[in-house]
Structure 1
Amino acid sequence: MKSFLKNTLFILFFLLTIGNIIAQNSNTTITGTLIEDTTSQPIPYATVVIKETNSSKIIAGTTSSESGKFSIATAKTNFYLEISFMGFETKTIKEFKTTNGKINLGKIILITDSQSLDEVVVTGEVSKTVFKLDKRVFNVGADISSTGASALEVLNNVPSVNVSIEGEISLRGSSGVQILINGKPSVLADESSNALGTITADMIESIEIITNPSAKYEASGTAGILNIILKKEEKRGWNGSVSLNTGIPDNHSIGLSLNRRTENFNLFAQLGAGYRSLPKDSEAINRDLVNNEVIYSDGTEYRNETFYNLTLGTDYHINDLNVLTLSGNFAYEVEEQPSETTFRQYDANNSLVSSWARNEVTDATNPKYKYELNYKKQFKNNEEHTLLLSALGSFFGKDQSSNFTNTTISGADSDSNQKTATNFQQADYTFKADYTNPISDTYTLETGAQYVINDVGNDYEVSDLTNGVFVIDDALTNNFEYNQKVLGVYGTVAYEREKWGLKVGLRVEQTNLTTLLTNTNESNEQDFTNLFPTLHSSYKVGENFSLQAGYSKRIFRPRLWDLNPFFNIRNNFNIRVGNPDLQPEFTDSYELTSIYKIGKASLSSSLYHKYTTDMVERVSTYVDNVTITTPQNIGTNAAIGFETNGKYRANNWLTITGDFNFNYFDRVGTFESQVFDFSGEQWSSRLGSKIGLPADIDVELTGNYQSGFETVQGNVTGYAFLDVGVRKKIFKGKAIVNLGVRDLFESRISEQFVSQTTFETYSFAQRGRFITLGISYGFGKGEAMTYSGGRRR
């Protein structure tokens, strides 16, 4: 084995060296950077070819890097350069200035295809989705209906992504999505910290959708990765913007963004504060099919929050090749959760036994902060030859107290009082190193390592009022400790030519997980090492048609709330319990994607197959009219699906976008002698239109549909909803007024049935319509932006 590895490495090194020597012997090297005309953003993966002047024969070719840069060499003297990329006009360059065998073209601006607009028609938004070799990039700035929205609502407008009203994120219909912030894990994106609660729409530059990640990314997330890229302005001089938002239900906020760029320093800051109210109507039915007893419940829950958010950071350009970045974020929330639920109990004769009201008063404070140090080094031989080192720390805390009062309305006495106290603390640390070396024009080597530490403690206490005194209920009280360490090391080799490319990678991850229930001294430890191979390839059939194929192996590691065996008594008849013995699930993912352009339409279609073992499912059991839901490992899931995303620019004032995903799944599994073998299907679609009107007004309509689907014990109901946005630019774009209406017809719901031989349950929840009005103003060299006060729904 060692001999094989040595020989393989020697052959690889020999091939890379030969390619490097050939490149160095070329007489003329041409370099440049490709930039979009409307946004000045770099254009990655564009095709750059050198052609012979007389015959137009291709002499050499390459593609631009993720930063839009390219380098290409030729020994010919009679040539011209041709640059092309889907969605942009092809650019031809015939005049060159050669200095010492080098031609530096500097910044090359590509013009967006068919985007020549009349001055009074405003549709100059950047394309929503940009396709790259192993991912898609969704530009948040083009989304009008994101006004006043949280990061979760922004995600719900991203192709392939769905977010339920409870904040559960799925990708192509599958949960187990890994959320990254700027390419790294963060407590701000963790479920326990209210899932992206402190990240608001204005803070997001773009979202990367990675359905088949390369070995460079950590292996967590069987469905794939969503990488949220936060904004960081670097315009020279003073720049900034201020924004105000108001909404119904209450959603009021103010935001300030500042940036100062000098020769060596870039200082940036964001400040926000506000108040919001998030009501939710819910209903549940528990039916015992053995003794025919039924429990009905319905009510309204509120989450009222006052919040503060501060981000500070600086880039220090030590010299042209070295940059040091230090940044930090602090957020603080004050929560109030008043709610009231009415319960009714019926016997086998459908006679009312008792009815009562359960009143909740909950108060909580949630401090959150993170800090990050990054160092980037570029090497002189090639600016794509880089070393990145980073260290990130983050913390989330929750100090919460709740009081529950049961008051009898009729029938049997149901009066009782309970209270809970929660002290939750989570600290995460990430250390990362990434090295990229473009050894030649065709070969690129990447390698690196990452070490992640998750340290969580949840102290939860329940007390019952007995004879006028609150007494701790030991059966419901626990102190749960969770510690996970993951070390990952990876390497990839990419070979790219003009028409086709190949990228092979391998990632090794070692996981150590320990949990401890301190009040019973129950502990659980898992220690395992896994290999995660990846393979990506691409082939350019023609100027308007390309193919991509990929394979990756992924893992879903159980999280704190999956493992913690605690009882949440918010609703005594519908509770969730963690499973300390839960094992990780693994997925093999295969994908074939085509990207093509037909006239004014650009389309991307994918066929994919996923095979998951030790599938994690939430299973319900029924005891004394109480539904207990627990995650369990149940068998395998084989899914095959088709997805297509498209954009059609009908004319200079109307753009239509669409997203459709369908998958068929086959479940095989057994749990406690019950067989869960069944097949099913689910699909989702999204259709959006952006209309440019005179007087600098844009209108955006986005319709969504999520089909129902079968589960291991029942089914989930489908639903459709519509979001509307209107934007008006004033003062030559320095100020923007936005009106956003989410769920216009109040049709977005969560409805689920569980049907078993001995019991049935039903649950329903609805948030309703949200309206937000915002205005923002950019000063200095800045542009208007929308600050929002959303958070987890």
Structure 2
Amino acid sequence: MKTYTLLMLMLAGPFLAKNCAAQEKLAGSRVSGAVLDAERKAVDFATIHLLRAKDSSLVKVAISAADGTFIFENNAAGNYLVAASMAGYKKGYSKPFELNAGNKIVTLEAIRLPAQSRDLKEVAIVSQKPLIERKMDRLVLNVESGSLAAGATAMEVLEKAPGVTVDKDDNIAMKGKQGVTIMLDGKPTYMSNADVANMLRNMQSSQIETIELITSPSAKYDASGTSGIINIKTKKSKSLGLNGTATAGGGYGETSKMSGGTNLNYRNRKVNLFGNVNYANNGRLNTLNLNRQVTTVDTVTTFRQLNSWDNRRFSTSYKAGADFFLNKNHTIGVLINGYANKNDEESNSNTNWVNNFNQSERINILGNNTESYDNMALNLNYKGVLSASGKEISMDVDYSNYNGNHDEIRDNSYQRINLDPRGNLLVKNYAPAEITVKSFKTDYSHPINKTSKIEAGLKASLVKTDNDLLLAKFNGTTYVADPEYTNHFVYDEDIVAGYLNFSKEFKKTGVQLGLRAEQTFSKGNSVTKNEVVKRSYPELFPSVAFSRKINKDNELGLSYSRRIDRPSYDDLNPFLNFLDEYTFQKGNPFLNPQFTNSFDLSHTFKGKFTTSLSYSHTRDAMATVTEQDNATLKTYAIQKNLDEMDVYNLTVYAPVSPARWWNVNNNFQVFRMNFKSFSNGGTLNSGQTAISYNMDQSFTLSATASADLSAQYQSPQQYGIFRAETQVVLNAGVRKSLVNNKLSLRASINDIFNSRKNRLSTTYQDMNLNFVEKGESRIARLTVSYRFGKNEVRPARKRSTGSEAELNRMKN
């Protein structure tokens, strides 16, 4: 209908220009009205014709707004009538009326459009969006245009997207790089990897309109996030009323899992109310088997460490908000969202070491840990349409408060041979944390003409984190703080940013140029150790994107951007997290941000097959490394800056249909990551070419039933100082729709052969270690989802709040 309306406007243009020139306009004149259906509900995108009453000749054409209203302004004096039409309705007319100097403002009675009934003997599909569209700075996956929409979850659709992979820990990578920013309708998710995965697994593909893969984000987006952005856009709707979805599910692998939630949306012409709440109670088992060897002069010590964790995570997330439509051009909104998560964990660790002098020690550690993470974020926003040409301004004010706590008791017992005996040791590890985020941002969009647009914006954010780590040992009567492992760390960070973006559409070519400037002030203060790290750095982040339509079957895209990844707040905190007294994880207050220059060249064929070649160079690349103290036999895992990281990537996405009932999506990647470092006490020059292949097959069993089978292969690869071994995983599922597709049942099993595990090793510097990490991955699930109310209720406005980059750096 929109295409038809635009065509009418273009065809009528010369005619209107001729008639308008022939008559003098009546300045300040205004004709307004509304279009309603038989049930007195607004009809948007109806075609409105302003006609001369004498001969019904066309004067102007307009389209009705979301609330059904329309306006004609500055018309010549004369006698008129208005006609309204819309596919599926009979045409409607207003009564004739006169415009003159004494009657400039005319408000018409609502035009009623009765429904039109027709017998459809044959339906022909004239056009359909291609599965993949190349935009200037992104690749758009039209979910409805292929088998991707056939009864899957949002997570399953995402795993099928070109160049996207998801590992066992729900870390989402794009073109081989992790740290992807996930957005929903242009808004950040504010969730951990596990929570994002849970949300996407509870969202049906039928709710998704498109998935945008933004490998080189424009200057409009925060410069943080070198791996790019994945924006999942849900379907728009057009009417008023109430609708919602209720979902419940359960699963079992080695532990039980259950989840449930509901989503509600109510809209009328003045307000839109929306909210959701989701709850999950998921168990998870993890094991880690670590082997390492430490050589000091003539002493060789061999470690064998066996660790297991039995974790149960309780998570509740919520969102509630309202949009108030002051008029058709101005909207203000309020939003509150957050989560309350809790982990209860029991651990068992057995560390055995022996040296070549027949000295040995066995340490058994029983741990009991309770963690809690709570966050509440408030947002006040405004959006205004300043002119009919599309000038827009938006503003966001955000406040967020995060509180986390880690409370652990570890009971250590020792068995020693040829060493002095040791008694049992009881250790308490207590680590409260608080993070406060305040931000403001404003964005302005100014169309120069129909094909050109300038965007500009400003943003300021203020972040304060407070972490107080206490490690205390029991001396028989009370716990006494250990000064070596106790630390109070306060971190302040202020960022001021501004950007300018220009885009231009030619006949077959699109161009987008942008520049973002960010000034960062940070101060890390280790109060206990009296160490202060201050930084102040201004940075520029340019971005360029081109798109070119060669012909109806071939499109090219080329993009470049410079990005930054700032350390997470936890990584900057010099805390110690114990595996045992010989193995630690610790933070690094001297960790620098990393900067990446990315280039991407892509080709799309027939809107389905896509090939992309990309290269990125990262300076001060942040990576996890291990450090070893040979004298004390201690090993630390810590985030450090490597000098350089280069990533080369070739991605081929090829969906094929061997039969009408059988669709196969092939996602093939060849990539190489090279790492160089000449600091950190040694020289690193590592790299390896790797292959990743994901194959997803969907089978249509009937009009209401489908099945799917997917396989994932990852060849050995090098990341920093670690080498990861081959991984192969197979998943399967079936889906059934009932009750006019309102009720959906889905059964699935992930990792059928229980083969998903991480096997890593390193021989960097004087270290010689390897480990196998296995999480609970073979899980059978059953999910039930029911949709109620009207299926076409327009959702909440799609907007991005001002604190997304900062909140994504929190732990939850």
TM-score (normalised: structure 1): 0.79
2:724 maps to what in 1? 716
Check the 8 A contact 1:579/1:631 in 2, yes or no. yes
> Do structure 1's residue 216 and structure 2's residue 220 form an aligned pair?
yes
Check the 8 A contact 1:356/1:414 in 2, yes or no. no
Check the 8 A contact 2:135/2:557 in 1, yes or no. no
Selected match of 2:670 from 651, 657, 662: 662
> Do structure 1's residue 747 and structure 2's residue 774 form an aligned pair?
no
Check the 8 A contact 2:293/2:767 in 1, yes or no. yes
SS in 2 for 1:747: coil
Give how far 1:689 is off.
1.3
2:462 maps to what in 1? 453
Give how far 1:498 is off.
2.0
Check the 8 A contact 1:459/1:479 in 2, yes or no. yes
Aligned 1:294-313 pairs, distance under 5 A: 294-313=302-321
| 1:426-465 deviation line (CA, Å, top 9, x unaligned) | 2223322121222212211111122233322221111112
Give how far 1:760 is off.
0.9
SS in 2 for 1:175: coil
1:364 maps to what in 2? 371
Decide whether aligned partners of structure 1 residues 219 and 404 sit closer, same or farther in structure 2, where only a CA change above 3 A counts: same
Structure 1 window deviating more from structure 2 (414-423 vs 154-163): it is 154-163
Give how far 1:154 is off.
7.6
1:381 maps to what in 2? 388
Gaps in structure 1 of 5+ consecutive residues = 1-30, 36-47, 51-69, 78-92, 110-118, 120-124, 785-790
Selected match of 2:294 from 288, 306, 314: 288
C-alpha separation between the residues in 1 aligned to 2:50 and 2:608?
Answer: 33
Give how far 1:333 is off.
2.3
Aligned 1:699-710 pairs, distance under 5 A: 699-710=707-718
Decide whether aligned partners of structure 1 residues 730 and 190 sit closer, same or farther in structure 2, where only a CA change above 3 A counts: closer
Check the 8 A contact 2:219/2:514 in 1, yes or no. yes
SS in 2 for 1:308: strand
Decide whether aligned partners of structure 1 residues 133 and 558 sit closer, same or farther in structure 2, where only a CA change above 3 A counts: same
| 1:365-410 deviation line (CA, Å, top 9, x unaligned) | 322222222212123423x432221223333222231111123467
2:594 maps to what in 1? 585
C-alpha separation between the residues in 2 aligned to 1:612 and 1:107?
Answer: 54
C-alpha separation between the residues in 2 aligned to 1:610 and 1:409?
Answer: 51
Percent identity of the aligned residues? 23
1:315 maps to what in 2? 323
> Do structure 1's residue 632 and structure 2's residue 632 form an aligned pair?
no
Check the 8 A contact 1:691/1:700 in 2, yes or no. yes
1:781 maps to what in 2? 790
| 1:117-153 deviation line (CA, Å, top 9, x unaligned) | xx9xxxxx99876543312345789578976x9x7x8
Aligned 1:45-60 pairs, distance under 5 A: none
Decide whether aligned partners of structure 1 residues 581 and 333 sit closer, same or farther in structure 2, where only a CA change above 3 A counts: closer
Give how far 1:637 is off.
2.5
Please provide the CA RMSD for this pair. 3.5
Gaps in structure 2 of 5+ consecutive residues = 17-46, 52-56, 65-84, 89-121, 123-127, 794-809
Decide whether aligned partners of structure 1 residues 515 and 179 sit closer, same or farther in structure 2, where only a CA change above 3 A counts: farther
> Do structure 1's residue 239 and structure 2's residue 243 form an aligned pair?
yes
Decide whether aligned partners of structure 1 residues 421 and 182 sit closer, same or farther in structure 2, where only a CA change above 3 A counts: farther
The residue identity in structure 1 corresponding to 2:661 is W
Selected match of 2:583 from 574, 582, 586: 574
| 1:29-58 deviation line (CA, Å, top 9, x unaligned) | xx93699xxxxxxxxxxxx999xxxxxxxx
Give how far 1:667 is off.
3.4
The residue identity in structure 2 corresponding to 1:371 is L
SS in 2 for 1:475: helix
The residue identity in structure 2 corresponding to 1:100 is V
C-alpha separation between the residues in 2 aligned to 1:73 and 1:495?
Answer: 25
Give how far 1:707 is off.
2.3
Decide whether aligned partners of structure 1 residues 653 and 438 sit closer, same or farther in structure 2, where only a CA change above 3 A counts: farther
Selected match of 2:566 from 521, 540, 557: 557
C-alpha separation between the residues in 1 aligned to 2:490 and 2:436?
Answer: 12
Check the 8 A contact 1:253/1:275 in 2, yes or no. yes
Decide whether aligned partners of structure 1 residues 287 and 157 sit closer, same or farther in structure 2, where only a CA change above 3 A counts: farther
| Number of residue pairs matched by the alignment | 685
C-alpha separation between the residues in 2 aligned to 1:392 and 1:744?
Answer: 44
> Do structure 1's residue 497 and structure 2's residue 500 form an aligned pair?
no
SS in 2 for 1:562: helix
C-alpha separation between the residues in 2 aligned to 1:288 and 1:257?
Answer: 55
| 1:629-681 deviation line (CA, Å, top 9, x unaligned) | 22222222333321122322444322221222222344333014522124422
Aligned 1:5-154 pairs, distance under 5 A: 32=2, 75=14, 99-102=58-61, 131-137=134-140, 142=148
2:493 maps to what in 1? 484
Q: Report 1 or 2 for greater relative contact order, CA contacts < 8 Å, sequence distance ≥ 6.
A: 1
1:398 maps to what in 2? 404
Check the 8 A contact 2:130/2:608 in 1, yes or no. no
Selected match of 1:621 from 610, 619, 627: 627
C-alpha separation between the residues in 2 aligned to 1:734 and 1:551?
Answer: 44
The residue identity in structure 1 corresponding to 2:615 is H
Give how far 1:252 is off.
1.4
Give how far 1:504 is off.
1.1
> Do structure 1's residue 765 and structure 2's residue 773 form an aligned pair?
yes
Give how far 1:285 is off.
1.1
C-alpha separation between the residues in 1 aligned to 2:530 and 2:236?
Answer: 47
Decide whether aligned partners of structure 1 residues 523 and 345 sit closer, same or farther in structure 2, where only a CA change above 3 A counts: same
Check the 8 A contact 2:131/2:608 in 1, yes or no. no
Decide whether aligned partners of structure 1 residues 144 and 245 sit closer, same or farther in structure 2, where only a CA change above 3 A counts: farther
SS in 1 for 2:570: helix
Decide whether aligned partners of structure 1 residues 758 and 354 sit closer, same or farther in structure 2, where only a CA change above 3 A counts: same
Give how far 1:533 is off.
1.1
TM-score (normalised: structure 2): 0.77
1:474 maps to what in 2? 483
The residue identity in structure 2 corresponding to 1:543 is K
Give how far 1:217 is off.
1.1
Check the 8 A contact 1:267/1:314 in 2, yes or no. yes
Decide whether aligned partners of structure 1 residues 144 and 570 sit closer, same or farther in structure 2, where only a CA change above 3 A counts: farther
2:430 maps to what in 1? 421
SS in 2 for 1:752: strand
Give how far 1:99 is off.
4.2
C-alpha separation between the residues in 2 aligned to 1:422 and 1:430?
Answer: 27
C-alpha separation between the residues in 2 aligned to 1:33 and 1:413?
Answer: 81
Aligned 1:595-606 pairs, distance under 5 A: 595-597=604-606, 602-606=608-612
Decide whether aligned partners of structure 1 residues 544 and 713 sit closer, same or farther in structure 2, where only a CA change above 3 A counts: same
Check the 8 A contact 1:287/1:625 in 2, yes or no. no
Check the 8 A contact 1:173/1:682 in 2, yes or no. no
Selected match of 1:174 from 156, 164, 177: 177
The residue identity in structure 2 corresponding to 1:400 is H
The residue identity in structure 2 corresponding to 1:174 is K
| 1:326-375 deviation line (CA, Å, top 9, x unaligned) | 222232223211121222222226x6823232111112332222222221
1:253 maps to what in 2? 259
Structure 1 window deviating more from structure 2 (263-272 vs 227-236): it is 227-236
Give how far 1:202 is off.
3.5
2:113 maps to what in 1? none
Decide whether aligned partners of structure 1 residues 181 and 530 sit closer, same or farther in structure 2, where only a CA change above 3 A counts: farther
Aligned 1:513-532 pairs, distance under 5 A: 513-532=522-541
